[in-house]
Chains A and B, each alone.
Chain A
Amino acid sequence: MIAFLIKRLFHALLVMFVISVVSFAIQDNLGDPIQQMVGQSVPESERAELREELGLNDPFLVQYLRFAENALHFDFGYSYFYNEPTTDVIMRHLPATLELVFATTLLIILLSVPIGVYSAIRPRSWLSRLFMGVSIVGISIPVFLTAIVLIQIFAIGIHVSLFPADTAWGAWLNGLLSTSGGMPAYGRGDVTHVFGTWDTNFASLNGLTYLVLPAISLASIMLPLFIRLIRAEMMEVLQSEYIKFAKAKGISMRRIYFLHALKNTMLPVITVGGVQIGTLVAYTILTETVFQWPGVGLMFLDAIQRSDIPLIVTYLMVVGLIFVITNTVVDLIYGLVNPTVKLTGKPA
């Protein structure tokens, strides 16, 4: 176990080293940060001075070594825009993103397990077909479109006047299809301070309403994937010998489905799911931009537009670290659920 963790620690360091080199190598293509800092009429001499001051004229290797040396002391530099250490900036934005990802994960788990299991048990029922059909649509609509449609329907509201309003059924249909909106369209609303940089949306009703639309649109990418995965795994498990044997033994179908079959279904789901939840952090970029959710995704996109190179590099390294951590946690959980797996890879 210890050996496994140490190995993973080295993985993390390697990943972060590679990310930092790559992001440093492409920084020339990210644009000129000076351009973003000064007004248009500032003379070239002033710009040159600022460029020298920031050390942007030094050769690649010098800049990288300076960065690496500071990074070893956990100093990742100052953001050009926020004028603060990049780690502080990220720590301030990270809770918002993690809360969004957490809410999305809850939605996914709560919806995908029952739907996936149901459509595996009753693959031919119309409800299963409906779920599968909707999930195909869900997987193929880009997340920003989902988000904008959600905003239009639930935040702004739509007024349907397709049907004749002077007939009772027309008025009823119009009323049924129209929405009054009212959900918040952007931002986090009233957050409750927990500690440090962590403000939470989960502590108040107002906070939770702000979380609903972003979480649904973020979930819309992963939910269909999970439903299909659980359905496929469950169907496969239901074909296996031990389930047939259990049926023959006369155990109630309920017990077979939810105790014996579900357990084995969840094994691969945990592996794939854990990794996918990690990538959700990356997917938040689009969702956060549309909903102006003040998390790291929005911060990263703004940083790219401002050529805020130190912040970009630190963000990429943090995301790399999150990936390594989620993978490690997934492996640990897998080991707990399935004790026949030895983490260190040595024969038992």
Chain B
Amino acid sequence: MGYYMTFKKTLLATLIGASLTLPMAALAQDVTGDGKDVNLRVAYDADPVSLDIHEQLSGGILQLSHLVFDPLVRWTQDFTFEPRLATDWKQIDDTTMRLHLRQGVTFHSGNPFTAKDVVWTVNRLKRSPDFKAIFEPIESVDAVDDYTVDIHTKRPYPLLLNLSTYIFPMDSEFYSGTTENGKDKGEIVKNGNSFASRHESGTGPYRVTARQQGVKVEFERFDDYWDKDSPGNVDHIVMTPISENATRVAALLSGDVDFIAPVPPNDLERVRADKNVKLVTMSGTRIITLQMNQKRVDAFKDARVRKAIAYAVNQEAIADRLMKGFATPAAQLSPKGYSGHNPDLKPRYDLEKAKQLMKEAGYEDGFSITMMAPNNRYVNDAQIAQAVAAMLARINIKVDLKTLPKAQYWGEFDDRAADIMMIGWHADTEDSANFYQYLTECPNPDTGAGQYNSGNYCNPELDKLVEKANLETDRDKRAKMLQAVEKGLYDDAAFIPLHWQDLAWAAKNKVQIEPVLNVMNFPYLGDVVVEQN
């Protein structure tokens, strides 16, 4: 009995203690904001899977790369190249480009940055399972002297600068040798504990000071950062993954974090209405499409049926009403700014024409098909699929729709398990040819062409044109060819383009995020300025 009573008293004391702490919480939080150091608390929807920037080719890893490392060149907001570790470059013959490297750059370990680090990094990229496919065109890299490298390609290759945005030189000395248990420090391990996945030495504006997977990553400004002209004034960055959309927005609105991405479309108005924070949106480069499987459905072999579907789908209605303006309606794969973007191609919603085409093809009474879409991969993906199913019903195509979580969806996609399947694509090279290679070329398991072409659409003429464009180093000529490919795909109604997903970020008013954002969604946080008052 006595024991029970003391237990109760302890509980009471704890409760009183807890209630006393509440008013003091505000005090405790002020202390962190008023010091001399400038802090930036960032919440993304996921944290990078590893510190090894060659382990996975994903948005999260590339965002990390721009913080901890520096690329040879990087994209500007208007799709041009900005010199970073490479100061200038020149094509010296059809297959060789010479780059001059920045001098006086140090890695976080203290080692100086030289040409051998670039050679080492490119060789490592060519071994990485995720990067080797896009680095295939590179034959070899030679160090001419300490600050000059020659990149040799297997054939004339127009996208070498695009690729250079993926070359973030790593500290070759730091990553060479073996660990205590005899493992090579430079090895790339997908599923295991490698040296590179836990340690970093880059040239970037920030060093990683602490990292707890799934909880937070802490960064500190690198004292010897080479770019003294960078306006960035943030000393510490704490990056927390908040996967739940509502919580991420709440964390910003309540002042717990300073910068969030992405902002979910349902909360755009709420964020815009708040006086303490600002919202930045941009038309993105990820295209959302539907593919019509010609192997499964005979009717889809008839271009008239495919066109009928293209005329029946109202992209503008989806972008306006369903996406609430948070998308740019598309009639092709290449977004504005890409060399293949063909300004003549416009969404072509016309229900009468669609019905007429169905009649011409002999399918006036329609037919039944199946459709699959993910329900947590793209913004509003399941609702978009439902809307399209309703639109197709008007031309008498009955759709049996199934939506699945992304973890299950991609297995079904690989099996080509439905007649119409949804896929979104972002070109890793920021170039139109990447779309065609994966989405519209004739599927060929040996070369990997058309790996995500679940429609089995195949037009050898267009493939030849893409091949030719990929050897054309004259930018204007190449753009003409790629635009012709877009036109060909449009005329054939090879697939149904829906829209490019918009991007959205939000931050407190004092964080000047606008200059560091871009459609690639790699915020250059090294240059971000937080106003002090």
> A interface vs B, CB < 8 Å?
29-32, 35-46, 49-50, 53-54, 78, 80-84, 106, 109-110, 148, 151-152, 155-157, 181-187, 205-206, 208-209, 212, 289-292, 294, 298-299, 302, 304-307
Contact = CB atoms under 8 A, between A and B. Distances in A.
A34 B280 CA distance: 34
A81 B191 CA distance: 7
6 contacts: A31-B411, A42-B130, A110-B11, A186-B240, A187-B215, A294-B214
B99 interface: no
Given A42-B130, A208-B18, A299-B214, A78 B191 contact: yes
Given A31-B411, A84-B193, A208-B21, 7 more contacts: A81-B49, A186-B43, A187-B216, A206-B25, A212-B18, A302-B214, A306-B407
Contacts of B49: 81
B254 interface: yes
A208 B254 CA distance: 18
Interface in B373-394: 376
A40 B197 CA distance: 20
Contact of B250 (A31, A106, A155): A155
B253 to A, nearest CB: 5
Nearest to A79: B191
B28 A205 contact: yes
Contacts of A206: 25, 28
B250 A38 contact: no
Nearest to A291: B247
B21 A50 contact: no
B164 interface: no
B408 interface: yes
B322 interface: no
A348 B246 CA distance: 58
B177 interface: no
B244 A32 contact: no
Name, among A36, A80, A205, A299, the residue most crowded by chain B CB atoms within 10 Å (CB to CB). A205
A206 to B, nearest CB: 5
Contact of A32 (B14, B25, B411): B411
A39 B451 CA distance: 13
A32 B448 CA distance: 20
A54 B191 contact: yes
B31 to A, nearest CB: 10
A84 B193 CA distance: 7
Given A37-B190, A290-B244, A294-B215, A155 B22 contact: no
A31 B410 contact: yes
Contacts of A46: 129, 132
Given A41-B57, A294-B214, A156 B254 contact: yes
A155 B18 contact: no
B190 A38 contact: yes
A291 B212 CA distance: 18
B11 A39 contact: no
B192 interface: yes
A44 B56 CA distance: 15
Interface in B120-176: 129-130, 132-134
Contacts of B50: 83
Name, among A29, A40, A49, A304, the residue most crowded by chain B CB atoms within 10 Å (CB to CB). A40
Contacts of B21: 205, 208-209
Interface string B39-56: 000010000011000001
Given A41-B134, A78-B191, A29 B250 contact: no
B240 A292 contact: yes
A186 B250 contact: yes
A317 to B, nearest CB: 20
Contacts of A187: 215-216, 240, 256
A185 B256 contact: yes
A78 B193 CA distance: 10
A44 B451 contact: yes
B91 interface: no
Contacts of B132: 46
A148 B246 contact: yes
A44 B438 contact: no
A43 to B, nearest CB: 4
A29 B404 CA distance: 11
A150 B448 CA distance: 51
A235 B530 CA distance: 62
Contact of A50 (B190, B448, B452): B190
The 4 tightest CB contacts between A and B, nearest first, are A31-B407, A39-B57, A205-B21, A155-B254
A37 B212 CA distance: 19
A186 B43 CA distance: 11
B25 A302 contact: no
A183 B25 contact: yes
Contact of B11 (A31, A109, A294): A109
A31 B408 contact: yes
A184 B247 contact: no
Contacts of B247: 151, 185-186, 289-292
B231 interface: no
Contact of B15 (A29, A106, A151, A305): A106
B368 interface: no
Contact of A35 (B26, B407, B428): B407
Contact of A38 (B14, B56, B212): B56
B133 A43 contact: yes
B445 interface: yes
Contacts of A82: 213-214
Nearest to B25: A209
Given A36-B407, A83-B191, A182-B26, A302 B15 contact: no
B243 interface: yes
Contacts of B14: 106
Contacts of B242: 186, 292
Nearest to B56: A39
B451 A157 contact: no
Contacts of A109: 11
Contacts of B197: 83
B426 to A, nearest CB: 8
A133 B434 CA distance: 61
B244 A38 contact: no
Interface in B252-291: 253-256
A186 B244 CA distance: 10
A45 B445 CA distance: 9
B24 interface: yes
Interface string B397-419: 00000000111101100100000
B103 interface: no
Contacts of A84: 193
B251 interface: yes
A43 B129 CA distance: 9
Interface string B435-478: 00010000001001001100000000000000000000000000
Interface in B57-106: 57-58
Nearest to A103: B18
Nearest to A289: B244
